[in-house]
Amino acid sequence: MIGLDTNVLLRLLVKDDIRQMETAARAVAERCTAESPGYVNQIVLCEVVWVLQAALKYPREAIAVAVEALCRASEFRIEHIDAVREALSIFRASKADYADCLIGVLNRRAGCSATLTFDKHAAALPEFQPL
């Protein structure tokens, strides 16, 4: 298994730099299979979402669709994929940032009764408690 960085996934999703996109696609095709998938950790997913939303101004639904596509791809292994899917569902139904949705889900699953926050959008989620 090989790890994948944010910029590799972004080249595949955004296709803004054809040369890098082709290099990334070739590397994934050659090195990431269902038997030996490319590993995508939570930080990478949060960075991907942040770039798509903040830098590239993708709408929330397009971001959710992109992350779901990564989750469905057999050549990728997504860290805590069930938590990612749950966080995506919360992300779609709220105004909270994806990272906050994931933080809430992961903390709840770790046994936290709540996650303290100053963020007004995150505070609206049941996993959070506003300060």
Residue 30 forms part of a structural domain: yes
Residue 84 forms part of a structural domain: no
Range of the domain at 12: 2-79
Query: Residue 17 half-sphere exposure, CB side, CA atoms within 13 Å?
Result: 9
Token pair 């991907």 is found at 48
* Strands (E) located in 53-104: 76-78
What integer best gives the mean pLDDT of the chain?
Answer: 97
Q: How many domains does the chain have?
A: 2
Average pLDDT (100-127) is 98
Q: What angle do CA 68, 86, 35 make, to 5 degrees?
A: 50
Quote the CA–CA distance of 118 and 99 in Å, as a whole number. Answer: 14
pLDDT band at 85 (very low <50, low <70, confident <90, very high): very high
Share of the chain above pLDDT 70, in %: 100
Average pLDDT (64-74) is 97
Quote the CA–CA distance of 49 and 27 in Å, as a whole number. Answer: 22
pLDDT the model gives residue 121: 97
Model pTM score: 0.93
